[in-house]
A = this chain, B = another copy of it.
Amino acid sequence: MNLPSNVTIREVSPRDGLQSEPVIVSTEEKVHLVDMLSAAGFAKINVASFVSPRAVPQMADAREVFAAIAKRSGVTYDATVPNIKGAERAIEAGADAIVVFVAASERGNQSGVGRSTEDAMDEAESVIRITRASDRSAIGTVATAFGSPYGEDIDIDRVTHLVRRFVEAGASAIALGDTSGEANPKQVQLLATKILENYPTIELSMHFHDTRGMAIANTVAAMEAGVTHFDSATGGIGGSPFTRNSAGNLATEELLHLCRSMDIDTGVDFDLAIDAYNFLANVLKRPLPSKVGRLFRSEAEASDD
């Protein structure tokens, strides 16, 4: 099995994790979560999105969160933005990197940002331009890269076309999002291999949702294709408010368990990541989906007896 010796995890629970939660989490709690994650060793954190507070009330305090976190050197604190206005606000708030996305699904763009795919890509190029002008790095994300929740066929050429446009616009990294958990391991290996053949030096990351329980198998398949960057969320929470069946992200605890069981270095302290699980479970007042999180949580409780 051809596996990497180390991988980098981008922790997305503060943004992709929380954005669909119906209960508004306080600014203080969000800041504490981000600070726990940076203390645990995550080198990349998806802190917030700069979107309409009417569309996503949970992200209304994005600016305040960025202002209050205790920034650690070596950690990239990024913000997700849907358009130029969001990018300007994110840069002003102090985001280190800007994440911009275009869906491979035509209906995905219509329901997410109310634009056609080509218009969405034009806007994304403008976002990348102002991001680079402010000396930040831009991450181009192809959402619904492995399948559409609306039953459309997502051709592999459609994905590679969007990747090329992101690269040509100056994105420093590319993420492929499986927004509604459509991907299978064979497909992941095929697509990742193709993109890494075309762009051998690009930072390619995978963003898997676990709608059908395939996220961890897709992760291993991507690793075998040479991918070393993965997104995951504490507890396996998350999902897009704009996408059907966008159930939780790949759980950070499962990804950490997978890596440490196969001697793949992540630079993350497992116990501190479990502390973040416990904190978030208490904030959200329920056990979170992650099986590893629950297992270690129950072990901790059991050992208190």
Contact = CB atoms under 8 A, between A and B. Distances in A.
A219 B216 contact: no
Interface in A173-202: 184-187, 189
A47 interface: no
A300 interface: no
A42 to B, nearest CB: 19
Interface stretch (A11-19, A67-75, A127-135, A205-213): A205-213
A247 interface: yes
A24 interface: no
Contacts of A245: 295
Contact of A258 (B214, B219, B220): B214
Given A216-B217, A219-B217, A184 B251 contact: no
- SS of A interface (majority): helix
A217 B1 contact: no
A262 B185 contact: yes
Contact of A184 (B211, B212, B262): B262
A226 to B, nearest CB: 14
B291 A258 contact: no
A290 interface: yes
Contacts of A184: 258, 261-262
Q: Give me the 8 closest cross-chain CB pairs, A-B, nearest first.
A: A184-B261, A213-B291, A217-B217, A213-B254, A186-B262, A216-B217, A217-B220, A212-B292
26 contacts: A1-B185, A1-B186, A1-B189, A1-B224, A184-B262, A185-B262, A186-B261, A187-B261, A210-B291, A211-B291, A212-B254, A212-B257, A212-B292, A212-B295, A213-B257, A213-B291, A214-B216, A214-B258, A214-B261, A216-B217, A217-B217, A217-B219, A217-B258, A220-B220, A220-B221, A247-B295
